[in-house]
Amino acid sequence: MAAACCAGTASRPGCTACAWWASTWSWARPWRCFFPVFFHSQMLWELVLLGEPLVVMAPSPSESSETVLALVNCISPLKYFSDFRPYFTIHDSEFKEYTTRTQAPPSVILGVTNPFFAKTLQHWPHIIRIGDLKPAGEIPKQVKVKKLKNLKTLDSKPGVYTSYKPYLNRDEEIIKQLQKGVQQKRPSEAQSVILRRYFLELTQSFIIPLERYVASLMPLQKSISPWKSPPQLRQFLPEEFMKTLEKTGPQLTSRIKGDWIGLYRHFLKSPNFDGWFKTRRKEMTQKLEALHLEALCKEDLLLWTQKHTEVETVDLVLKLKSKLADREHLPVKPETMEKLRGHIDAIILALPEDLQSILLRTSMT
């Protein structure tokens, strides 16, 4: 099954077709994709997590596509925020940008099949060379990570060509478990279940300390006043986060040893962290807006208007209408929105008729 999304060559974050493809096809059977290089699965997980430039050289478009999409999904439930191209060709608009040696390769995962790329992409820091994606009944040889200068043609031996040194020690237990599965001719589907669970637990162990720290940036609910703007989130301070890892780091949920601190430092500079944190910050800001709105709806707003000028009252109505219009983006209960509508109607009816007509017209536009 060849990749057909995004005109068959480019897969971009946000593309519905690519998202469907990734979630329903390749990740249904990651063992098929990782089998040729499964000894290095954990290192590949790190490279994808950090948004490193990666090239997958494969014999066919379907095999390059499956492998690229399996790589993108190996850090799930963390979203991969960089670009990825399941099947990249010399006709792609970014061909010159990606093959130039005058600047560092961008954060993107490319899947290629044209032998021409073996030379033009040789300057990329991480290259995966795979063979036919048909797991045999024997364990592939445990090949060492190869130097990039040894990759001269697309006929080079399968393996991972990079000078990257993983931050984490390799988990020998998962390697033994997968090796045993090959020896016992365990079905590919069962091997995929094991590999998916391994990647999921690894990613969760990594992301939980970050989620815990980011949650601590949320202001206390008691600091939310209905008559002031919602409080701001505290700033994410890398060193402050690093200090939390001593007691609440990944060692609580993962058996893997290594330089977790170094991995986090690298991750905090990556596109994946930037995208993840922007998403979490947006969600938390919306939560603060929702809590502020709930606090406002509990107040006697009609009584408030009696103590303030008409200008201030009109300003309040316009702000409340703005929040009502933004209701789809706020995690607010339906009954809260009903209260808000009731407040708006009551305040408008208490105003002079000329202001009533103006405010009612604005609600209709």
Give the dihedral of Cα atoms 264, 15, 1, 63; nearest 10 deg. -30
Q: How far is CA 2 from CA 12, 64, 110, 183, 329, in A?
A: 17, 9, 15, 30, 37
| Nearest one of 205, 189, 213 to 42, comparing CA atoms | 205
CA 155/CA 212 separation, integer angstroms? 47
**For the whole model, what pTM was predicted?**
0.83
CA 215/CA 199 separation, integer angstroms? 24
CA 49/CA 76 separation, integer angstroms? 10
Query: What is the DSSP code string of 66-85?
Result: HHHHHHHHTTTTS---SEEE
pLDDT of residue 331: 85
Q: Which residues pair with 258 in a beta bridge?
A: 168
Tell me the three-class secondary structure of 231-260, residue by residue: CCCCCCCHHHHHHHHHHHCHHHCCCCCECH
Which runs of E-coded beta strand occur in 28-107? 54-57, 83-85
Q: Which two tokens stand for residue 342?
A: 């009731």
Contact of 56 with 67, CB cutoff 8 Å: yes
Residues 6+ apart with CB under 8 A from 125: 52, 53, 105, 148, 162, 163, 164
Structural domains in the chain plus CATH codes: 27-204 (3.40.50.11500), 300-364 (no CATH)
Q: What is the pLDDT of residues 258-286, one digit of tens each?
A: 999 999 999 999 999 999 999 999 999 99
Beta strands across the sheet bearing 108-112? 83-85, 108-112, 54-57, 126-129, 159-162
Contact of 129 with 157, CB cutoff 8 Å: yes
SS3 228: coil
SS3 352: coil
CA 172/CA 287 separation, integer angstroms? 42
Residues 6+ apart with CB under 8 A from 292: 224, 226, 229, 230
Contact of 109 with 48, CB cutoff 8 Å: yes
Q: What is the pLDDT of residues 282-326, one digit of tens each?
A: 999 999 988 988 888 888 888 888 888 888 888 888 888 888 777
Ordered per-residue pLDDT tens for the chain, 365 residues: 333 344 344 444 444 444 444 444 456 688 888 988 889 999 999 999 999 999 999 999 999 999 999 999 999 999 999 999 999 999 999 999 999 999 999 999 999 999 889 889 989 999 999 876 555 555 555 555 766 555 555 456 788 999 999 999 999 999 999 999 999 999 999 999 999 999 999 999 999 999 999 999 999 888 888 888 889 999 999 999 999 999 999 999 999 999 999 999 999 999 999 999 999 999 999 999 889 888 888 888 888 888 888 888 888 888 888 887 777 778 888 888 888 888 888 888 888 888 887 787 765 44
Query: What is the DSSP code string of 259-289?
Result: -HHHHHHHHTTSHHHHHHHHHHHHHHHHHHH
